[in-house]
Chains A and B, each alone.
Chain A
Amino acid sequence: MAIVKNEKKKAGQQTLGGLYGTGKVKKRREWRGFKDTMYDYGRWLILWKKMIKISLSRGFVKGLLRYRWMYYYLSVPYMVDKFTLGQRDEILRITHTALDIIVDDVALVIKCCLRADRRTGNDKAYSEKCVLVDENAMVSFMMGFPDLVALEREVPTLFSSNLINKNSAVHYIDVAQAYGIPGDVCPMPETEAGISIEDDFVVGGKCAVQVNSTCDGSMLGNSIIANRLEKDYGIPTFQMATPLRHKEEDTQKYAAEEIKAAIRFIEEQTGAKWNWKAYFECAKRVNETTKHRWDWLDVNSTDYPQFFGAVFSLYNDTNYMGNCGRSLTFPLYDRRVDALVNKGFKNKCMIAPEYRHRCLVWGVQPQYAFDMLYWMALCWGVMPLTDMLSMVIDKPIAEEDTPENREQAYYDMAYLSENMIMRNHTHGGYKVLVDELWEHCERMNADMVMLWEHIACKALTGMHGQFEEQARKRGINLVWVAHDLCDPRIYTKQAVRDQFNLYMRTIMREEPIDPTLEVLQDDEAW
């Protein structure tokens, strides 16, 4: 592909490897030129303000003393720095805008969790209004319950704490394995199981809904959590099934019936009544999100991608799965990001001095835990156009309240669930995992695929040979980068980067744009 050169000289420091030391945090903040450094520093201060605010919320101090995972949140600013590496101008502002709402959203979840938690905040009346939902659930079945809280207690405990500190899951993985769960299963549900075995989740809520969204391991691990909830805490738990072959017509009725059953269960347990008006309002917001996301992907199909990397993925994840149109704030941020994306595109804003390759990032990704995608662009000029987990919802759902649409709505909620972040490509047959990758490559003019090979994800590795052979046939450069998701003991950060470095040097025969980034001594970093 033709190399795209940055017409503007990048302000501030040109090489970034010097920022990394052997400690838990970087040696110093990045110098981005006066204007961007001030902007970045201002956001950093605002972040601290948010952290102080949440630390004053009900049950926070008790939670800090009770839950092992709570203290990781003290290092949130490091996470934000990690995801703004090397960024300037609009790209920096897009990342900060998106991170703003992501941090707000996670802070809100923590606040709600502690408030409802019987051990800390213990607000009983509030807890009665909470429905515990699976971290991997698309909360579409909550769209018509405006007065209930979808309490995603696994998000702060596992998911977002791992964004902040890569070692956050290690202890719980060990607990699960000591219990007898094998070491070869995906460490993510294994961590959840470990947290439940150790009884380290917050306990609250009137009832719970679990899903089978991600994988066999996640589904089976849920039984440990459900038994803990029902037997030890008397919280009734419903298991909602979503079909695997979600592209097939003959599975849709099953999926819709499951949604109905979940709604019925919540109504019975909480006494709340499904509200169609609220549902269709949420549906409108979901559609707006979908439209924006596809607009951003269109921009990423040009020479000047604007919103990309881990934060693009995180933003989609939080927006769709965690909120599913329930948040009034997300559309405002969608619009702000959209304006910045358009401005950045107009100004030909770039993160690196040149883009040598246009890369699609596929597979089950650990990129939340570190800055790999930005690093690829900065070190090697490989631009990550989008990733598998962001290629989710692609059609609008019914948003007008009519009798026909009320029946259609169950199918739409099922569609959202079937296409949740971690499953719409890993399940449903090879067509959605392999064939659709090549379709996206063509649409986004990608000449390279970086395939995250999560070694314990059987759905993905089961197609290893097919990826390899089909990429070769299509003349696409395919680089495998193996990892073990939230267990950094199996592949360290540098071990992950080394795989990419090796490919770029030996197969592509290229030299890095920023050689100081090639090898970093950051194994101890959060």
Chain B
Amino acid sequence: MRDLKHLNYFENLLTSAHNDLVRQAKEEGRICAASVCENVPEPLFNLPGCFGVRLTAPNTGSLDISTYYMTSFLCETSRALLERAIEGGYNFADCIIAPDGCTMINRAVENMELLNALGQGKEHFFYENMEIPFKTDENGVNLLILQCKNHILTPLKENYGIDTSDAAIRTAVREHNKICDLVNRLGAFRKEENPRITGYEFAVFTLATYVCPKDLIMDKLEETIAEVAEREPDENAYRARVLLVGAEMDDPAFVKLIEECGAFVCADRFCFGSMPGRTPIEMNESEDALTQLCRHYTYTGQCPRHMNLDKVNARRDYVDKIAREYHADGIIYNQIKFCDPWGYERATAGAALRDDYGYPVLSVDRPYNIQSSAGQMRTRVQAFVESIEYKNIKGAK
């Protein structure tokens, strides 16, 4: 297929957390609210005068310093973020609002705070830690509302004068939904038998929506959708369609590696992916915006930290639904090494999807930067693709 016009531009944006668009927004005088987890209602970071950035640490190499602070047993995402923070890579942020979502990310941010790794020279810089509901119920919704008020809205208003009114939240949600719409329209091309966009390309565009001010990329995403709609797909470009499921994954090179092995990543269900992160937020006029927003995040979230059994099993149904919708031949469950929640989720849900739902499942752990262990992963994915092909041949007979 012909190269997409803006792909290289978006790839470049992903090479640094402090990318050109973040710089541009900061120069315009906007406040940058940094976060580290999908469980925080994202639109609240994009209130007028403010923009949100999910922290990433592209091209991570040595993790020596963060390993001293957190040992080699903490997941590489948390260590990579701390390492980058210590290096001064996030000094563009005006605050960091972290959920106590998983222990390791929480410890990473606490270390940043204790080491004064962010906000140097910024009078109003603040750290906030939020409690996130463990269950999908109304008690959880009420908790999230209170947490958002106390740890996002109030500090943003008091420190930076951000408008946190109901109207402002509705505006932010509308903007958020525009991005969701763009990402979903782009993602829908993956359902085709001969898709006009690769999983890698889609991962690059989607990731950019998490790490850039959203309003600054909308035009290029619109153009890309139009371009993809006209694009001539390659025929028989892949040997199997796979759904990629898992934890924090901000490394499109991992998707690229999978596709280089002959699989097409037809759908993405991971943090930094489009599902559920780019599910539009439905709002009505009768209830206040914050409540509706928190309800959306409480109920649509697919994080394994949600512990009620009906939700645990609903997560499997959700993966099955996506796999069917995107015609996946197999599922790759991945976790970042040393991640406890996904270590269990990968094992249990992977087994359920294989045994109860009948999908071929590849269950793998991976490093934060896939380049540090590309050979091993390539071998495993190749074998998985072959096993799907073999299964298909056997099925045809």
**In the complex, B357 has a CB within 8 A of chain A:** no
Option from B107, B133, B150, B341 in Cβ contact (under 8 Å) with A250? B150
Contact B343 A184 (CB under 8 A): yes
**In the complex, A363 has a CB within 8 A of chain B:** no
CB distance from B268 to the nearest CB of A (A): 22
**In the complex, B139 has a CB within 8 A of chain A:** yes
**In the complex, B142 has a CB within 8 A of chain A:** yes
**In the complex, B369 has a CB within 8 A of chain A:** no
**In the complex, B250 has a CB within 8 A of chain A:** no
Within 8 A of B (CB), among A233-255: 237, 239, 241, 243-245, 248, 250-251, 253-254
Category for how many chain A residues contact B: 35 or more
Option from A216, A254, A453 in Cβ contact (under 8 Å) with B103? A216
Option from B108, B304, B337, B351 in Cβ contact (under 8 Å) with A462? B108
Q: For the complex, what is the distance from the CA of A227 to the CA of B307, rounded to whole Å?
A: 12
Q: For the complex, what is the distance from the CA of A237 to the CA of B310, rounded to whole Å?
A: 10
Chain B residue numbers with a CB within 8 Å of A227 are 309, 312-313
A459 (CB) vs chain B CBs: closest residue: B103
**In the complex, A108 has a CB within 8 A of chain B:** no
Option from B107, B131, B343 in Cβ contact (under 8 Å) with A254? B131
Decide: A462 near B340, CB < 8 A? Known: A179-B351, A212-B134, A245-B100: no
Within 8 A of B (CB), among A214-235: 215-217, 219-224, 226-227, 230
Q: For the complex, what is the distance from the CA of A499 to the CA of B3, rounded to whole Å?
A: 58
Contact A185 B344 (CB under 8 A): yes
**In the complex, B378 has a CB within 8 A of chain A:** no
Chain A residue numbers with a CB within 8 Å of B386 are none
Q: For the complex, what is the distance from the CA of A180 to the CA of B309, rounded to whole Å?
A: 20
Q: For the complex, what is the distance from the CA of A303 to the CA of B110, rounded to whole Å?
A: 36
Category for how many chain B residues contact A: 35 or more
Contact A466 B69 (CB under 8 A): yes
Contact B68 A464 (CB under 8 A): yes
Most buried by B among A221, A224, A458: A458
Q: Mark B337-352, 1 if CB is under 8 A from A, else 0.
A: 1101101111110110
**In the complex, A321 has a CB within 8 A of chain B:** no
Option from A182, A226, A462 in Cβ contact (under 8 Å) with B347? A182
B139 (CB) vs chain A CBs: closest residue: A257
Contact B70 A244 (CB under 8 A): no
Q: Mark B49-76, 1 if CB is under 8 A from A, else 0.
A: 0000000000000000000111101110
Main secondary structure of the interface of A (DSSP, over half): helix
Within 8 A of A (CB), among B106-149: 106-108, 110-111, 113-114, 129-131, 133-135, 139-140, 142-143, 146-147
**In the complex, B257 has a CB within 8 A of chain A:** no
CB distance from A139 to the nearest CB of B (A): 19
CB distance from B358 to the nearest CB of A (A): 17
Contact A244 B114 (CB under 8 A): no
**In the complex, A261 has a CB within 8 A of chain B:** yes
Contact B107 A463 (CB under 8 A): yes
Option from B103, B131, B312, B363 in Cβ contact (under 8 Å) with A223? B312
**In the complex, B370 has a CB within 8 A of chain A:** no
B361 (CB) vs chain A CBs: closest residue: A180
Contact B131 A251 (CB under 8 A): yes
Option from B111, B114, B130, B340 in Cβ contact (under 8 Å) with A217? B340
Contact A462 B341 (CB under 8 A): no
Within 8 A of A (CB), among B258-293: none
Decide: A223 near B309, CB < 8 A? Known: A257-B139, A458-B338, A464-B69: yes
Q: For the complex, what is the distance from the CA of A243 to the CA of B133, rounded to whole Å?
A: 8
Chain B residue numbers with a CB within 8 Å of A261 are 139
Contact B131 A458 (CB under 8 A): no
Contact A220 B114 (CB under 8 A): no
Q: For the complex, what is the distance from the CA of A133 to the CA of B68, rounded to whole Å?
A: 38
Most buried by B among A193, A219, A241: A241
Contact A185 B129 (CB under 8 A): no
Contact B351 A180 (CB under 8 A): yes
**In the complex, B25 has a CB within 8 A of chain A:** no
Chain B residue numbers with a CB within 8 Å of A450 are none
Option from B130, B140, B337, B340 in Cβ contact (under 8 Å) with A215? B340
Chain A residue numbers with a CB within 8 Å of B146 are 250, 253
A426 (CB) vs chain B CBs: closest residue: B103
**In the complex, A455 has a CB within 8 A of chain B:** yes
Option from A193, A222, A224 in Cβ contact (under 8 Å) with B307? A222
Q: For the complex, what is the distance from the CA of A219 to the CA of B306, rounded to whole Å?
A: 9
CB distance from B327 to the nearest CB of A (A): 26
Q: For the complex, what is the distance from the CA of A32 to the CA of B17, rounded to whole Å?
A: 67
**In the complex, B162 has a CB within 8 A of chain A:** no
Contact B131 A245 (CB under 8 A): yes
Contact B103 A239 (CB under 8 A): no
CB distance from A233 to the nearest CB of B (A): 14
Contact A179 B107 (CB under 8 A): no
Option from A185, A210, A254, A462 in Cβ contact (under 8 Å) with B111? A462
Q: Mark B318-351, 1 if CB is under 8 A from A, else 0.
A: 0000000000000000010110110111111011
Chain B residue numbers with a CB within 8 Å of A215 are 103, 340
Chain A residue numbers with a CB within 8 Å of B113 are 430
> What are 30 A-B residue pairs whose CB atoms fall within 8 Å in the complex?
A182-B338, A185-B344, A212-B134, A212-B307, A216-B340, A216-B341, A220-B340, A220-B348, A221-B344, A224-B344, A224-B348, A227-B309, A230-B309, A241-B307, A243-B143, A248-B131, A254-B142, A257-B139, A257-B142, A427-B103, A430-B110, A430-B113, A453-B71, A458-B75, A458-B103, A462-B103, A462-B110, A463-B107, A465-B70, A466-B69
Which residues of B come within 8 Å of A, CB atoms? Answer: 68-71, 73-75, 78, 100, 102-104, 106-108, 110-111, 113-114, 129-131, 133-135, 139-140, 142-143, 146-147, 150, 304-305, 307-309, 312-313, 335, 337-338, 340-341, 343-348, 350-351, 363, 365
Known pairs A220-B344, A227-B309, A244-B131 / 7 extra A-B pairs, C-beta < 8 Å = A181-B343, A182-B343, A184-B337, A212-B307, A241-B133, A248-B131, A462-B71
